[in-house]
Structure 1
Amino acid sequence: MATSYSLVSISLPTPFAKHEIETLLDCSFKKGIEKAFFMQYRDTFLVYTQFNVLTFINWEKEAIHKALLKLGINNADSFEQHTIFQDYPILIEPDLEVTCKVSNEQIILKEPLSLYLIIIALVISQSVGLEKYEQDLDVHFAKSQQLLDLTQSYSLLKRSKLIEFARNLTAIQHGMVSDLFLLDKPNILWDNEEAEKLYNRLSSILELKDRFEIVEHKLTNLKDDISMALDMFNHKHSEFLEWIIIGLIGFEIVMGLIEFFKH
């Protein structure tokens, strides 16, 4: 007889360290795979990833609301409208002929092994984390044209805004590569063919690699535009300094001539 597990991955609006989650929710995480830590109580799981996504497996909705309230999340009872989240139904079918089947609508497992559930939580968390970066990048895209328009005239304040913008883009790129861990498979998958199939299939369904490449491409274009704008500002800055030097030299000449004719 098939049973169903619910899975909800939520991007926490404010950053939390692992020990803060443990303290606020009165739980203790175990090391899972790569950057995923988990807590299991009977047939429920809580999975935390260091890119600030919390995944609830087989939790009642009311229990999720209470947990979010303990974390100080506003509008916890309507997190669907106020946070980035993804949910995915998991069916457990003991009569399934294969270990797992993954589709756009659901995940079917032959048995609810902890490893498989943590793999699913990790991949869904990566998708949620990537969606957060996608939204952040959309905001930066909206700002980029305004900043590029600043290059029509020069000021130190405008230059500092461009430098800060470039720094934010670098932080996004670094976070995507180092935190989301999308470019490498978890080491444990190399020794478990069935777990690797589950990971690969779910990653493919969620189009993680394709989405990552699109975000990378947008980031590269934005960084190129900002780099060009900074080069223009640096050129204008050099011209500005040159004119100051020329002005000072001219001032010295004028003062020298005045002194000369006085005497």
Structure 2
Amino acid sequence: MLMVYKLKVNTMGRCISTSLAKRFSFEDLVNKLTDKYRCTRYRDALHIEDDGHIFLFRYGVMVTWDISHDCEKRIRHEIEPFCINPLPDPYFEHFNFELNADQNRISGDRICIEGSDALQLMAVSHGLAQSSKLNELESYAEQTIEETAHIPRSMAVKGRTNLSRRDISKMRGKLFLVESDINLHHALLDTPEFFWEYPEMENLYIMTAKYLDIQPRIEVLNRKLTIIHEIFGMLADEQKHKHSSLLEWIIIWLIAIEILIFLFHDLLKWF
């Protein structure tokens, strides 16, 4: 009897995860692309099939699997009008991949997946997208800490800052925006809701998140966020101190004026 074996064909290529913007105008983006491409929506992500696989995530990240440079350029051009606060310098992460591999693993920036199903690619893409967004938030927090490092140094040396009350208010406003922006995206770094519907795919996500050190990096980001919050608190105290000092000087001048009026009017009888 002739035995027929179905051979698995290994597919190899490149995978790129790119953080393009703070977020997408997602509903409008989905409506635009579903009219033109073969698309499947998974909660806050969109899967596009072109000459490869493209996954778009609501929080401004695109993950591509083996698409041509021309296709990537075309898709990015179509996405551009739907980018909210586009990043001047997008964050890229590059990987090689192999489908229909012997086992699921990631090593040396090479992703190996036992199958080739779109859901498997989506599961891995969730981890890649979170890593790219985390890169953006890490850089944002680090830049903010560097820009405000002179404040605690000045307070340590002089016991105060040289900033005016107006400058302190502006700095507090900026720190508040940074803190709220990071907190807003922080929930996106939890296990995606996609795996509520496809729990059998979660192991691929866990493998990816572990390789990319998602959890340790979130803990580091939390510490940076704590530093930003403490600087915010220092500025709030400094602003209160400056305001209190201003009120004290106003009271002192009012008392001085009242004393002068008493001297000239009641004692010297000048008027």
TM-score (norm 2): 0.79
Cα 1:113–1:258 change in 2 (3 A) is same
Q: Conserved in 1, the CA contact under 8 Å of 2:15 and 2:64?
A: yes
Query: What is the deviation of 1:46?
Result: 2.1
Q: Conserved in 2, the CA contact under 8 Å of 1:130 and 1:176?
A: no
Q: Tell me, in whole angstroms, the C-alpha distance in 2 between the residues paired with 1:44 and 1:216.
A: 36
TM-score (norm 1): 0.81
Matches within 5 A, 1:33-52: 34-41=43-50, 44-52=52-60
Matches within 5 A, 1:199-238: 199-238=205-244
Length, aligned pairs only: 248
Query: What is the deviation of 1:235?
Result: 1.8
Q: Structure 1: where are the runs of 5+ without partners?
A: 74-80
Aligned to 2:181: 172
Q: Conserved in 2, the CA contact under 8 Å of 1:89 and 1:107?
A: yes
Write the letter of the residue equivalent to 1:225.
I
Query: What is the deviation of 1:93?
Result: 2.1
Q: 1:249 aligns with which of 251, 255, 266?
A: 255
Query: What is the deviation of 1:200?
Result: 0.8
Aligned to 1:17: 25
Q: Tell me, in whole angstroms, the C-alpha distance in 1 between the residues paired with 2:100 and 2:45.
A: 26
Cα 1:66–1:106 change in 2 (3 A) is same
Write the letter of the residue equivalent to 1:162.
M
Alignment partner of 1:152: what SS?
A: coil
Cα 1:112–1:177 change in 2 (3 A) is same
Query: What is the deviation of 1:44?
Result: 2.5
Alignment partner of 2:149: what SS?
A: helix
Bigger Rg over Cα: 2
Query: What is the deviation of 1:240?
Result: 1.7
Matches within 5 A, 1:103-114: 103-114=107-118
Q: Tell me, in whole angstroms, the C-alpha distance in 2 between the residues paired with 1:22 and 1:237.
A: 50
Q: Conserved in 1, the CA contact under 8 Å of 2:179 and 2:228?
A: no
Which has more strand, going by share of residues?
2
Q: Conserved in 1, the CA contact under 8 Å of 2:145 and 2:228?
A: yes
Q: Provide, for residues 160-198 of structure 1, a one-character-per-residue CA deviation record: whole Å limited to 9, x for no partner.
A: 1331232133223313313xx2233536258634x1211
Residue 99 (structure 2) pairs with residue 92 (structure 1): yes
Q: Tell me, in whole angstroms, the C-alpha distance in 1 between the residues paired with 2:40 and 2:256.
A: 72
Q: Tell me, in whole angstroms, the C-alpha distance in 1 between the residues paired with 2:78 and 2:196.
A: 34
Q: Tell me, in whole angstroms, the C-alpha distance in 2 between the residues paired with 1:57 and 1:250.
A: 76
Aligned to 1:145: 149
Q: RMSD between aligned alpha carbons?
A: 2.8
Aligned to 1:184: 191
Cα 1:233–1:248 change in 2 (3 A) is same
Q: Conserved in 1, the CA contact under 8 Å of 2:47 and 2:55?
A: yes
Alignment partner of 1:118: what SS?
A: helix
Query: What is the deviation of 1:122?
Result: 1.4
Segment of structure 1 superposing worse, 226-235 or 115-124: 226-235
Aligned-residue sequence identity (percent) comes to 20
Q: Structure 2: where are the runs of 5+ without partners?
A: 1-8, 82-87
Cα 1:14–1:190 change in 2 (3 A) is closer
